[in-house]
Amino acid sequence: MSTTERAARVLKSLKDEEWRTLAGLEEAATGHGTADIGRLARMSRLPPERVRFAVGQLEKRELVSRRGPGYALTKEAVEAMALRDYVKRDLIFALGAVIAKGKESDVYETLTEEGSPLALKFYKLGRTSFTRVRKKRFREGAEMRSWMTANYEAAKREYTALKKLEGLSPVFPRAIAFNRSTVLLEELSGVRLSQRPELEDPEAAERTVMESIRKAFLKAGLVNADLSEYNILTTGAALWLILAPGGRSESSQLQRAARARRDGRRQVLPEGLRGRAG
């Protein structure tokens, strides 16, 4: 079971004082990385004995981990808090199956209370290295602070970029909201281009991708610097570009982007489009 699935399973079982304890630990993570019972009591505004009990319950559910004299959040806790906020804002009602899974993010289907499908992207930057760090169980909480910073910023950057791209091309999914290490998107379907699905019109797909890249650069000042068959979803007819972390260049790099535009006709296409257009 993934961290995301474990996070979803605990949503209804946590009590208010446990959520308040998690919020206190999140605040601590941005500073010291960890917090002991005394600091948590001050941050959560709960009596120390209630915080101690809440931490014990959270530790059993693997939402916090002991780090020396203090405690730190786990990835499950971060994702649980994000899911809870979406539910409280009436943005999602249920978490469905994985739509796409990669090294740095997973995309899940979600449903609104009315049954409308959406997509929720969970950033997983440092997935492998963070697992190794957890096994070492460092006394300090620096590794969790680093993980949170990287993933929170990645989600915020993607949301901001997608808002700039909104309406430019149907291949850019509409961003609805972001929360912590997640971005809520309009419905995405299909499979990654890397799986070599059958395309209804490969030449049209190629033109759509290249035209979208051109519009993103000319009208939004953005370049997808990590375009590949792994971050394109398709149903065979429709296409969506999934923005990769670190894969967007802002206007400060426009000179390099201009060279890419000048050589646009010679750009190497994602592997899933090569060999299908002829």
* pLDDT, tens digit, 9 for 90 and up, residues 71-106: 999 999 999 999 999 999 999 999 999 988 888 899
Q: Which two tokens stand for residue 49?
A: 């004995």
Question: What CATH number corresponds to the domain at position 212?
Answer: 1.10.510.10
In terms of domains, do 180 and 234 share one? no
What is the number of structural domains in the chain?
Answer: 2
Determine, yes or no, domain membership for 278: no
Give yes or no: residues 247 and 151 share one domain: no
pLDDT for the residue numbered 101: 85
213 and 84 in one domain?
A: no
**Statement to judge: residues 197 and 168 lie in one domain:** no
Please give the model's pTM, rounded to 2 decimal places.
0.82
Q: Which domain holds residue 244?
A: 191-266
Residue 214 placed within a domain = yes
User: Is the pLDDT reported for residue 259 higher than 70?
Assistant: no
Residues 196 and 125 in one domain: no
- What are the tens digits of pLDDT across the range 121-162? 999 998 654 444 444 433 345 676 788 999 999 999 999 999
Are both 227 and 147 inside the same structural domain? Answer: no
Residue 118 lies in a domain: yes
33, 165: one domain? yes
